[in-house]
Amino acid sequence: VSGTPRAPILVTGATGQVGAELLRTLAPLGTVLACDRRRLDLGDPDAIRRVLRELAPGLVVNAAAYTAVDRAEEEPHLAHAINALAPGVIAEELARRGGALVHLSTDYVFDGESSRPYREDDRCAPINVYGRSKRAGEEAALSAGGAVLVVRTSWVYGLRGRNFLLAIQRLARSRERLQVVADQVGSPTWSRALAEAIAQLLARLGTDPGRLREHTGLLHLCCAGQASWFDLARAILAATAGTGQVTVEPIDTAGYPTRAARPRYSVLDCRRAAERLGIRMPPWEQALEQALEDQRIARESLTEPAAARA
C-alpha cells in the first residue's frame, strides 16, 4: 500500500554533542536529515527560510547553538543571532508551514539563587550573555504561534567535541593535581542519554505537529541527581583507566575566574517530563558510568590489531 510518505525530521547542529546522538536515536521515527553549519548557517535568516522550504521537514530538532559560554561575552551579537534570532525564524517558518519544533535550551536561563531545583515556570534571570541569548531564543520560538517544545537541559558532556569530561581526562594525563570548582552545582547530563530521552518523548507523542501542539511549552530534561564540578571530576577520574592517582582538590568559583559568570546552582526539576510524559532520565552517576564504558569499548576497538578483529 503506498501512502503519503511522512515529512522528514531535520536535525540542526548535527556535528554537535547532542545533534550527533540525535541522528541515531531519531532514526527509528522516520527519515532524519542532518544539517551541519555548512548546509545551514543559523546566522543567516534567509538561508534558514530557504533550507526549510527546500527540505520541507515536518519536525525540526534544533540542537545547534552558540555554546561557547565565555567567548559569548565578547561576541554578544553573534551569540544573539544564533541563539535568539535563529530559533524565532525557524519557529515562524514552521508555524507557517504547519511543522513542529523541538528546541534545546539551557539551565543557564536561571540566576542560580534558588535553594530547590528549578521548575519550568520559575522566573528566568540569566546572568551571562549566553544565558540571555538562550532565554531570548526560548521566547522567540514560543511566541511564533506554532507547535514548539522547548527542552531545557544542563551540563552536557559526551564522547566528542569540547566538554568537561574530555577536558578533565586530558588534563589528568599531564598533571598530578587538579583544582576543580566545588561551589557550582548542577545535573551532569550525557548527550546520548538526552538524545534517547528526546527520541522516547517523540515516540510517545508522535512526530505529528498536531499532537506536539498540545504540548507546546517548556520541558526540563536532564540526568537525575546533582553534583558540583568537583564531584563530577572525581567521578570521571575514578572510573577512567590510568587516572586513579591524580589528586582532585575542591576550590571555589573565586579561585577560577572566568569571563562569564555562572549560576551557583542550576539543578532542573524534571517532574513535568515524568508526570506528563513518563520520561525519566537515569541518575547522572549511572549515565556517566555507561558513557565511560562506551568510551573504553570504542578505544579498545581502535587499538585492537586488525588480525584480532578479522
Ligand X SMILES: NC(=O)c1ccc[n+]([C@@H]2O[C@H](COP(=O)([O-])OP(=O)(O)OC[C@H]3O[C@@H](n4cnc5c(N)ncnc54)[C@H](OP(=O)(O)O)[C@@H]3O)[C@@H](O)[C@H]2O)c1
For the annotated catalytic residues, the residue numbers are 130
Pairing of strands 9-12, 189-190: unpaired
Q: Is 2 exposed, middle or buried (0-12, 13-18, 19+ CB in 10 A)?
A: exposed
Select from 53-61, 62-70, 199-207, 211-219 the region that touches ligand X (CB under 6 A). Answer: 62-70
**CA torsion through residues 266, 267, 272, 274, sign:** positive
Q: Which is nearer to ligand X, 210 or 288 (CB)?
A: 288
Select from 138-146, 147-155, 274-282, 289-297 the region that touches ligand X (CB under 6 A). Answer: 147-155
Binding mask 148-177 for ligand X (x = CB under 6 A): -----xxxx----x----------------
State the Cα–Cα distance between residues 221 and 279, nearest whole angstrom: 9
Q: Does 190 bind ligand X (CB under 6 A)?
A: no
Residue 66 CB, nearest approach to ligand X (Å): 5
Q: Measured in Å, how far apart are the chain's first and last C-alpha atoms?
A: 42
Widest distance between CA atoms in the chain: 66
Question: In this structure, what C-alpha cell is assigned to residue 47?
Answer: 538561508
Residue 307 CB, nearest approach to ligand X (Å): 36
8 A C-beta contact, residue 9 and residue 57: yes
3-state DSSP assignment of residue 227:
strand
Which among 163, 180, 183, 165 has a CA at the least distance from the CA of 265?
Answer: 183
Q: Does 134 bind ligand X (CB under 6 A)?
A: yes
Q: Pick out residues in 105-124 that bind ligand X (CB under 6 A).
A: 106-107
Q: Which is nearer to ligand X, 122 or 208 (CB)?
A: 122
Q: Does 192 bind ligand X (CB under 6 A)?
A: no
Select from 8-16, 120-128, 248-256, 271-279 the region that touches ligand X (CB under 6 A). Answer: 8-16
Residue 113 CB, nearest approach to ligand X (Å): 18
Which residues contribute to the site for ligand X (CB under 6 A)?
A: 13, 15-19, 36-37, 40-43, 63-67, 82, 104, 106-107, 134, 153-156, 161
